[in-house]
Structure 1
């Protein structure tokens, strides 16, 4: 009887753990996120335009001021999310939206859940 209880508790814990992990990866349109910092100011999972394209479009070519910017999920396509700034401004003064691989960006700290 004691062995059965221990075994059933163990099975319940194993089954419930993946369910909780899946809930953390769920995202919905309208959710607010924050842009985090990246390694060496090279964002790989949040797809910002390259600095030369920003300069050609007349924008401010600098990744320095991105950390802490609040963004809203406007569209979801598979694991890619389309992000817009919460304050309504454009990224770098000329790009209204950016794309990001959601799960990788959360794992690397480039996007933070708020």
Structure 2
């Protein structure tokens, strides 16, 4: 009975360790200079890409049209790990233009944005 108990405990421990390893490697694969594509959000607005609110876009002379952002190719300019373990990346468009005509760089929560489909690898 003890052997069965230890065998099940060992199996659960190895599954947990391997699950943690795969979780870390997906976030480590993205490096500075990698090209990603902005996808369609699940909700009406982007949740994990920190686009500015429409009033800030309009104040800076831009046009607040979130539908035009979908499909743009972006490059990762910086990666920062926060205290809670999440990775924040700054992205800019590959063609050199600004988002909405007003913001050159936006930030995003990398892991959640990749998982939800807001950002896709190319």
Is the Cα–Cα contact under 8 Å of residues 46 and 110 in structure 1 kept in the other structure?
A: yes
Q: What's the counterpart of residue 98 of structure 2?
A: 90
Q: How does the TM-score come out when normalised to structure 2?
A: 0.76
Q: Deviation above 6 Å: which 4+ runs of structure 1?
A: none
CA distance in 2, matches of 1:30, 1:21: 21
- The C-alpha deviation readout for 1:56-113, integer Å capped at 9, x for no partner, is 1110111011111000000111110000101100100110100000001011110001
Q: What's the counterpart of residue 80 of structure 1?
A: 88
Instruction: Using the TM superposition, give the Cα deviation of residue 18 of structure 1 relative to its aligned residue in structure 2, in angstroms.
Output: 4.8
Are 1:41 and 2:44 matched, yes or no? Answer: yes
Backbone CA RMSD of aligned residues = 1.9
Q: 2:118 aligns with which of 101, 110, 114?
A: 110
Structure 1 gap ranges (5+): 1-6
Q: Spell out the pairing of 1:1-114 with structure 2 (5 A cutoff).
A: 14=15, 18-26=20-28, 27-78=30-81, 79-114=87-122
Structure 2 gap ranges (5+): 1-6, 82-86
